[in-house]
Amino acid sequence: MSPLTVIVVLYIISCVNFLNAYTTYNVIPTKDETRRFYGIGGLSGGGRTTHSDVYVVKTDNLKRRFLGIGGLSAGATSKLLVNYPEQQRNEILDYLFKPEFGASLQILKVEIGGDAQSTDGTEASHMHYPWDENYQRGYEWWLMVEAKKRNPGIMLYCLPWAFPAWVGDGKRDPYNNPNLTASYVVKWIQGARKYYNLTMDYVGVWNERPYNAKYIKTLRQMLDNAGLDQVQIVAADGLWEPIAIDIQADKELAKAVDIIGVHYPGTKTTQMAIDTGKPLWSSEDYSTFNDNVGAGCWARILNQNYVNGFMTSTISWNLIASYYEALPFARDGLMTADSPWSGYYRVDAPIWITAHMTQFTHQGWYYTAQGSGSSLLKDGGSMVSLISWNGIQLTIVIETMSRNHSVCIRPFLPEYDVKPQNISIQLTGYFAELPSLFVRYSKLGFDGEDSILFKDMGTIPVTGNGTVQLSLGVDEVYTLSTLEGRQKGNYDNVPPQKPFPLPYMDDFESYELYKEPFNFSPQVGSFEVLASKDVFHSRILRQTVIENPIYWCLFIDLVFPIGILGDFSWSDIYVEVDVYIGTVNATSGAYVATRVNKGGCDSFAAEGVFFFIFPGQGIVITGDLARTKELYNQEMNISTNAWYKMGLLVKDGQVTGTLNGQQVFSIKAPVSPAPQNGFVALGTANYGLADFDNLKITDSTEGSRMVKETHGNDEMFHNEKFTSVKDRPEDTLYFKSQRLNNRG
């Protein structure tokens, strides 16, 4: 380009800037959007004030580095994603991790499984026992590999929620022997590198539980000795204090801790934490239903965690709602994928709220100082400005989330007002010479209004003195950036949602060893597919935990292993499974169940219809997992080291049970307040080994036919092995309760 051409171009730009010098920029709606936003600000520019508040973006005093926006896979929240059809699974992973496509996440945080319940299920440990080291279990390895495929620069962060019992070295305390616990964690990190070529960037201490300074120092030393000095320690995934106090008082601890990470800070920090000089993270946040209110929560905290709390990274729990919706914290993910049998998934609004930040920033950029491009807005909302390390790229993210449309599940959000407002952004230095910025826009819809998500609005002019003028409505997000070429990724033809399929059968033969079966969600205990020496049971499902782990669920001793699957709406249903209880490290009994109504940390209180067998004792039918609501019992000759086919049918107010094709009980089904619907479940009476095979679930009509065909009529069969029983509904707590409630 000749010097004369350059002069002409600059002259034209200056003329355009002059003409726009006092024009407030309005995003112009398309024809079909005009009605929705007429007269309320936002897209139509209605509700203008008589002035513009000025916010100056300064390029000096850049101290705090943006360290990324992330998602957290923990508590078995990615369980159902693994067995999605390949096409839909790849699409989902693209929405989460592919750069400049969807959420484009910059950090992936995962659980180091500990064989114990950690919110919506249990995640398997790499070391069930001290002599057992296995890196094939679980799905977090797979998820990290897939994330790295799409974004090699994504940062990886690992953290334990629970620990196998042996890690406590005789106590229910992971800090009883710091060397043992640190070795357990370091082996996981080494296994990630050795078997999956995954390098951890960050490691935590113990999720939301007390930390131990000696352990943190030991972990740092052991990481360094193992050549893992690049792994940074985040402490302590809880509150700002006392970790900030201890860091200032203990130089060795301060040297060991690289980042202070807290959970659900409500966008606030403490002066003590700031004074440590450490990077401050919201290392777990959001945890909110992913409708538009959830998206508003996410938009608000992504900005205000820095504006109010100096936090330079925010990580969402959870990454993706890929667990049964009837479990705790339904749909608390950035998107939803809980129907692998149909391939259906939904790209929820938080994905595009995330993109407003992640598609226009890179880790290592600088936040501008508070009050110098990052601040609260006078009439509500906030803005943050980020500048690239070389000082030539700029991104500004603005949110105007109203209080009731941005409430997070925690902590409490005080009342505040947001109004339509005009703002002027004053760029300085290099950026004052820009002719324009690229614009992405979102408007969250409420009260029947549609949402506009991550819409490309072209460019916004920058006037000759570096001014950008913008009219803001309520519940909006803007990204203004020097970066172009971003996209709102889209895959068409997502399959329709379908109910859980019936009949459903699983003989566990198709799985790799040490994996969990598809759709089967352990809630207490750890279940994995193993090879059997029995020629009729080549591969089986085994409950593997033999001691009570160092648990995460507060004040609750979860001692009854259980895994669920199916459709929570099931009421009348038939389920059968082969069960084997040995003699070495074995459980005392095993069960099959229907109408199971609870999971998560409340699994101990699960109710339903539970059919137990106990070798050397007999059968017990109960209305709850803890066996406090007995419905029926019968002494029987049940042996160890033998397979039993257990069948349980609930139909038309009757519960029928079979063993090896012979009916052994038939009683009235529990009535309300007992649960009338719920999951199918398998499990053991206590910790200890038990094997399962040939799972089958059918509707109750087919199940009834199968039961009748097995023994020819409705009469109860018996032989010398099984003793006949009779109906005793009057002996059950549920029926007693019902009679009392019916007294006039």
Strand 630-635 and strand 618-624: pairing? antiparallel
Whole-number Å distance between alpha carbons of 350 and 294: 7
Whole-number Å distance between alpha carbons of 94 and 117: 29
433 noted as active-site residue: no
Whole-number Å distance between alpha carbons of 428 and 424: 13
Q: Is residue 207 reached through a cis peptide bond, with omega within 30 degrees of 0 on the bond before it? A: no
How deeply is 591 buried, as exposed, middle or buried, from its count of CB atoms within 10 A (0-12, 13-18, 19+)?
buried
Secondary structure of 448-512 in HEC code, one letter for each residue: CCCCEEEEEEEEEECCCCCEEEEEECCCEEEEEECCCCCCCCCCCCCCCCCCCCCCEEECCCCCC
Residues 185, 220 contacting (CB under 8 angstroms): no
Supply angle C-alpha 282, 285, 290, rounded to 5.
150
Q: Which of 528, 543, 548 shows the shortest CA–CA distance to 582?
A: 543
Q: Tell me the one-letter amino acid at 483.
A: L
What lies within 8 Å, CB to CB, of 369 at 6+ separation is 58, 61, 62, 63, 64
CA dihedral 317, 321, 325, 326 (to 10 degrees): -30
Q: Tell me the one-letter amino acid at 700.
A: S
Supply angle C-alpha 116, 142, 107, rounded to 5.
85
CA dihedral 4, 6, 8, 13 (to 10 degrees): -170
Q: Which of 444, 278, 349 shows the shortest CA–CA distance to 103?
A: 349
- 3 state DSSP class of 725: coil
Question: In angstroms, what CA-CA distances link 81 with 93, 139, 345, 528, 728?
Answer: 9, 9, 10, 17, 44
Among 33, 123, 284, 576, the active-site one is 284
Q: Annotated catalytic sites, by residue?
A: 208, 284
